Amino acid sequence: MPFVSLNPATNELVCEYPYWDKAQLEVALAEVAVAAPRWASTPLSERCDHVRRLGQLVLQRRDQLAELITLEMGKLIGEARAEVEKCAVVCDYYADNGSAFLADELVESDAGRSFVAHQPLGTVLAVMPWNFPIWQVFRFLVPALVAGNTGVLKHASNVPQCALAIEAVVRDAGLPGGVFRSLMISSAQVAGVIEDKRIHAVTLTGSESAGRQVAAVAGACLKKTVLELGGADPFIVLEDADLDWAVQQGVASRFLNAGQSCIAAKRFIVLESVADEFIAKFKAAVETLKPGDPGDADISLAPMARIDLRDELHQQVQASLAKGAIAVTGCAPLEAPGAFYQASVLDGVWPGMSAWDEEFFGPVAAVIRVKNEFEAIEVANGSVFGLAGSVWTQDLERGERVARQVLAGAVFVNGMVKSDPRLPFGGIKNSGYGRELCRHGMLEFVNQKTIWIK
């Protein structure tokens, strides 16, 4: 089966690419293997300069890359442009800070001089998803390149043109040949690439099941992994929250990218004393979202990426309704071409429902009513996931206290959860392990070598 690019707004075929055979894969891996030691020995200042130029070219190609994102996975064109711009930001961030992040760390010991040096591991394989098809690649690639690693990409099968466009922009920015290649391979071929001795580490952003499979193969090969998996992020609304602000940010968080984000607000945990008011305001805001052609700047609700994903989401919604959840608004596919699903809200969500137990990767918000702050924390921590979460209150000391008790890789108080190059990003529990971005993410794929001299 080839890479198949479908327009999610119409379900029309855009293009197909055949999967590589063994010979084509070998050519790419051999090229990267030759490039890896040369790139590692390139002075850090030169690597930073290369990455800065990469960011400049990304900005020059912003509209072209954004249109590809919208065409292949259906993102609103404004969101797609913002995604591309963020890739340029991460280039500048690591170009500016790479030297400081990788500087030797002096350590007091019984030596005359001892320190920790940060050296590249080699080639990192990235297995990436379709929902942020440019950003998530740059999120791994830029710090890896600055650290002196090379990279290869196995992208999602529905965004082949994005995969090839990333390789093209890296090449055209003047980086040496072979420092990054997009591997046009199937999921079945990934295990063989992980096992290849020319691959030294693996990073994956994707589903929990995909993470388990990749981690099992990499673990058997004793290769370092970073996994960013699913999430069911709690959005905790306390009784003293600014409800208008919480509603505005909650709608933005839940329906960004048609709800197809790991760090989207998914479980709205609302204190009973303000639940009716919150839901009424939230419903009114949700019903203003306008579905349609994601290339139209006036549209505010994009299609989902594929029809099969939309159908899976609807099955989860139907299963929750069958167990007693209440449809506040939406809760059905749109009668239109493409993979559109109504912007939806469920109330009365309880344990045992899909909306409670599972990740909803689409435009559906699940509201869970709780009696007090303590129950809110208990419900938030009751999920198998632990990627991120948010707390909404006008008492900042209280917000920090609750945030410290939520079991997640990141908790925002009075703000929508987002990834930021300046902050480490990643989860715990079934949301994975390891960190991306910031200095913490860069150091995931370096050898932190102790050097002791006397």
Q: Please report the pLDDT score of residue 239 as a whole number.
A: 98
pLDDT at 100 over 90: yes
Take residue 178 and report the two structure tokens written for it: 């072979």
Q: Quick one: 108 and 9 in the same domain?
A: yes
Q: Quick one: 284 and 411 in the same domain?
A: yes
Q: Please report the pLDDT score of residue 2 as a whole number.
A: 84
Q: Quick one: 412 and 438 in the same domain?
A: no
Tally of domains in the chain: 2
Give this prediction's pTM: 0.97
Q: Quick one: 126 and 33 in the same domain?
A: yes
Give catalytic residue positions.
Answer: 228, 262
| Percentage of the chain modeled with pLDDT above 70 | 100
Q: Quick one: 188 and 240 in the same domain?
A: no
Mean pLDDT of 87-116: 98
Q: Where are the beta strands (DSSP E) in 292-403?
A: 326-329, 344-347, 364-370, 385-386, 388-392
Q: Please report the pLDDT score of residue 29 as a whole number.
A: 98
Chain segment 295-332, per-residue pLDDT in tens: 999 999 999 999 999 999 999 999 999 999 999 999 99
Contact 419, 441 (CB under 8 A): no
Q: Please report the pLDDT score of residue 267 as a whole number.
A: 98
Residue 270 within any structural domain of the chain: yes
Q: Quick one: 278 and 238 in the same domain?
A: yes
Compute the chain's Rg from CA coordinates: 22
Residue 288 sits in a domain of what CATH number? Answer: 3.40.309.10
Q: Please report the pLDDT score of residue 147 as a whole number.
A: 98
pLDDT band at 92 (very low <50, low <70, confident <90, very high): very high
Q: Where are the beta strands (DSSP E) in 55-134?
A: 105-106, 113-120, 123-127
Question: Rounded distance, CA 181 to CA 216, Å?
Answer: 24
| Percentage of the chain modeled with pLDDT above 90 | 99
Chain segment 384-415, per-residue pLDDT in tens: 999 999 999 999 999 999 999 999 999 999 99
pLDDT at 374 over 80: yes
Chain segment 339-350, per-residue pLDDT in tens: 999 999 999 999
Mean pLDDT of 203-212: 97
Q: Residues near 452 by Cβ (< 8 Å), separated by ≥ 6? A: 109, 111, 114
Q: Please report the pLDDT score of residue 336 as a whole number.
A: 85
Q: Quick one: 194 and 310 in the same domain?
A: no
Contact 431, 387 (CB under 8 A): yes
| Size of the chain in residues | 454
pLDDT at 1 over 70: no
Domain span holding position 159: 3-229+431-453
Residue 426 within any structural domain of the chain: no
Mean pLDDT of 415-438: 98
- Rounded to the nearest integer, the mean pLDDT of the chain is 98
Contact 252, 390 (CB under 8 A): no
pLDDT at 373 over 70: yes
Chain segment 165-207, per-residue pLDDT in tens: 999 999 999 999 999 999 999 999 999 999 999 999 999 999 9
Residue 137 sits in a domain of what CATH number? Answer: 3.40.605.10
Q: Quick one: 166 and 147 in the same domain?
A: yes
Residue 425 within any structural domain of the chain: no
Contact 25, 183 (CB under 8 A): yes
